[in-house]
Structure 1
């Protein structure tokens, strides 16, 4: 019985670009999240305002952050797959 990797490990030529993309997306999310924190610290009454379907800004913004993180994950995966396919061709 062989115990060897199914996939041959090679150098990922797209790794530097994927890392740069990840850092850029991290900073985008951090800025959006910082907006949430700043509103909560400087004017918490605004977080109580009803903005959508009788839900307050804190709930809408919080769920928006969750959805944004998921969407950004899908975008990151899509773009990284394209980079890998393009740059790792033999």
Structure 2
């Protein structure tokens, strides 16, 4: 039983904006993550430091998770606005 697509998909005029935004956000996140990797590779004893009652490793790790969620919300919001503006 082939039902076909639920909606008719057209040209997405915001696709280049969404691509550029996604790449910039990926680069930003990668740099923050690279900092985590570099600290662990070159000065692992720093990850034992206590920050906010936890080790830096735990705080940095949860910070990476939080940053990913924040970036996802920002990306979604900006892309929805761009689609509404450019796909009239």
TM-score (norm. length: structure 1): 0.92
RMSD: 1.5
Runs of 4+ with >2 A deviation: 2-6
Q: Superposition pairs for residues 1-20 of structure 1, below 5 Å?
A: 3-20=3-20
Q: Deviation per CA, 1:4-51, whole angstroms, max 9, x where unpaired?
A: 433221000000110000000000000000000010011000000001
CA distance in 1, matches of 2:39, 2:5: 50
Q: Show structure 2 runs of 5+ residues with no match.
A: none
TM-score (norm. length: structure 2): 0.94
- Residue 77 (structure 2) pairs with residue 78 (structure 1): yes
Q: Show structure 1 runs of 5+ residues with no match.
A: none
CA distance in 1, matches of 2:52, 2:36: 16
Aligned to 2:58: 59
